[in-house]
Amino acid sequence: MVPFRPLKYSGVVEGTMIARHWRGWTEPKDADAYEALLKETVLPGLKEIEGYKGGYILRRDETHEVEFVVVNLFDSLDSVKRFAGPDYATAIFEPEARRLLRRIEPLATHYEVRAATV
This prediction's pTM:
0.83
Q: Compute φ and ψ for 95, nearest 5 degrees.
A: -55, -40
CB atoms within 10 A of CB 82: 16
Of 83, 74, 78, 76, the residue nearest 42 (C-alpha): 83
For residue range 51-105, what is the model confidence (pLDDT) as tens digits? 999 999 999 999 999 999 999 999 999 999 999 999 999 998 889 999 999 999 9
* Residue pair 100/26 in contact by the 8 Å Cβ criterion: yes
Of 40, 33, 84, the residue nearest 59 (C-alpha): 33
